[in-house]
Amino acid sequence: MNTKELIYSMLTESTGAHMLDSGGAYGRHWERNQKRSIEDFENEPEELYTWDGSYILRTVSVFHYLSQLDQDELCEEFNALPCPNWDAEEVYGVSDSQWRWLCWQANVRMSDLSVKHTFNTYNWDSDLSQVLQGSWIDIGGQQYLLLQIHNGCDVRGGYTDAKLFVPVDDGIIHEYLDDYQDSYVISEYLEGGHITAIDYNDPTIKYTSEELIKLVK
């Protein structure tokens, strides 16, 4: 399974429901994503600007944001392992048996497999279409990313099993697609004429940079 196919399988993975999940009212990501084909994700824009009547909003496609991740032989073998439960103490979304397998591959004790950093994009400003949770780990001098996608509604639950990827570079998931742009950067792109936005209530209405500048003022 190539990387894009794996990401698609994660985006459509059923993460169920729980009592804190309000997906029954608003729909869970996995329920909406299962109605889409991989071609639908391929054809959606990498980033989308929307005018909501007061602000310019930006949404980054998680599918495209993750598309530059790669898999080596270690990743492919790990990603094919069953994940019966999440009982690994060191990282999220991984079973104890999976973690032991990684330690065996790295030829280190479980306590010595280096977890550099664990993150959840919900905890900072992010334009991503779905929340990501992951851990950067070092295996034999190579950096890897153990990644989960939030497929539920309430961010406290509804994550996929973690999958292992090789990043573009150390700590880099996508080489040019930023996961967040602040208002200053958006203003610069706007002044440079590089933004086209759709109307929040009517996607058939599109605004050029010149039109948006007038609306913002």
Instruction: Phi first, then psi: give them for residue 204, nearest 5 degrees.
Output: -75, -15
Burial of 200 (0-12, 13-18, 19+ CB in 10 A): middle
Span 128-141, pLDDT tens digits: 999 999 999 988 78
pLDDT in the model for residue 155: 85
Is the pLDDT reported for residue 113 higher than 80?
no
CA dihedral 96, 100, 102, 105 (to 10 degrees): -170
The Cβ of residue 75 has, within 10 Å, a number of other Cβ atoms equal to 20
User: What is the DSSP secondary structure assignment for residue 86, as one 8-state letter?
Assistant: -
pLDDT in the model for residue 110: 60
CB-based contact 177:66 (threshold 8 Å) = no
Q: Considering the entire predicted model, what is its pTM?
A: 0.91
- The label of the residue with tokens 């794996």 reads 6
Instruction: Phi first, then psi: give them for residue 33, nearest 5 degrees.
Output: -70, -30
pLDDT in the model for residue 182: 95
Is the pLDDT reported for residue 163 higher than 80?
yes
Span 17-35, pLDDT tens digits: 766 555 555 578 888 999 9
